[in-house]
Structure 1
Amino acid sequence: MTSEYDEATTFELTGNRATARLSSDWGIGNAVNGGIIMSLLAQVTSSVSRSAGGHGDVLGLSAVFLSPGADGAAEVSTDVLRNGRSMTTAQTLLSQEDERVRAFVTLGDIDRYAEPITLNPQPPAMPEPDACVRSSDAPPDALSQSGLLSRVDIRLDPACVGWAVGQPSGNGELRGWIRFADGREPDLHSLLLFLDAFPPVTFDLGAKGWVPTVQFSGYLHARPAPGWLQVRTRTTTVAGGLHEEDAQIWDSTGRLVAQSRQLASARF
């Protein structure tokens, strides 16, 4: 049985151009989640790179969000800029009449860079998933405005959810667990979705409404082991309606498998 994530990232490739369909099933309000778009871009870029004799595992992706993705057909065009012995560099663009997302992508053989581990930050202490607050327990109006929340299972550390009842901690940090709601196990390129799937960290500072990403840089370090992923998001700078958000993901073995930094809006 094909998972909802696999359906959402399906594409047809002809040369260096792919056609796909973005779905509001992965939306937040009126926009399609940026993480699912980046996962799609990663998979298209991987296919184009392999067909050009390059590498197939995304190591890093830096994206600029030019306009919100919408439900409907999309076109992805990818240009391989350089094929080296150990890495490939490509540029990819997703359009829906208007340009939506443009990204530079670095690809290689992820297994070559996964070992040996010289330094691995440890995941933060948090309760087990069954002792955390489930995203499915969000108010019905919040669930109706976010198809994404029906497709990922998020469990937040109870110490980080005061904002949900009007009592944000002011620490600027969220912690918890995440996995696909339909049981699909995580893979390398799905980590780009999980890096951008948590509630905005500015909720912990009293922000209101969803927070659109302006610029995003994500780094993938290893293929994740099956099971729950642990996530921590933090911000240290909020000014003038913008903030930076750092995310880290550990797999079920306690290994850091992905991290990101993004520039996003903050609405108070």
Structure 2
Amino acid sequence: MTVVTIHPLAIVEEGAEIGNNVHIGPFCHVGPQVKLGDNVDLKSHVVVAGHTTIEEHTVVFPFASLGHVPQDKKFQGEHSSLEIGKRNIIREYVTINPGTEGGGSLTKVGNDGLFMIGVHIAHDCHIGNHVIFANHATLAGHVHVGDHAIIGGLSAIHQFVRIGEHAMIGGMSGAEQDVIPYGVIVGERAHLSGLNLIGLKRRNFSPGAINQLRDAYKILFDKNIKDFENSTLLERIEKVISQYKDSEEVMHVVNFIKNDSKRNICMPKYG
């Protein structure tokens, strides 16, 4: 049996698709092209606009704005979408924009994410599963964030940057370049400061896998390692491949670095 609770002070426009057991609180506004999955909960004062889909068991707190037109002057009203997955927690004042024609016309958020107060996700971003965005973390357009990544409070990610899986962005950091999987970056203009060892242990990576990542990290990024003082990154990558080609985790880092990027790779701070 379909049970939908819509507060009399909410507006749900004709054409919106509402799943089972959905709760829409007071002063919410749901647009005509919105789709809400089963057990979605809009607490109050939530605006969901445009071609936006929110999948089941996602909870949205007051004053969030989801699906309004992107903050991009090139946007001319073309069809674009926002897809938000399952079991996400979207806290107060979060803003998420749909895509643009130049970025594939889609912004996509995965499952099981926590988006704290004031988070902004701009047009054409693609966000993985099990991510945590702390208060007022901000993503510019076209950013890709891998599974289990953590974006620290008051941090800002430049457009087109890729954040690898299990990476961590320190609070109040500015990320202008790609962040390797499992890496940690910090700083006003952020630099790579090591591996996200605490996160790896919490997610039950084996000691052997962690040690291999540590060794590969030294080869790739330690300027003082013997026999590699004057080596290029490409030469270091080849050395890592020769030693750790059977390590899934290490090769994940290698393939991330080798893939084409618009922003280069965030490197350690030398000197």
TM range (shorter): under 0.3
| TM-score (norm: length of structure 2) | 0.24
**Which structure has the larger Rg?**
2
- Structure with greater proportional strand content: 1
| TM-score (norm: length of structure 1) | 0.24
Higher relative contact order (CA 8 A, sep 6+): 1
- Structure with greater proportional helix content: 1
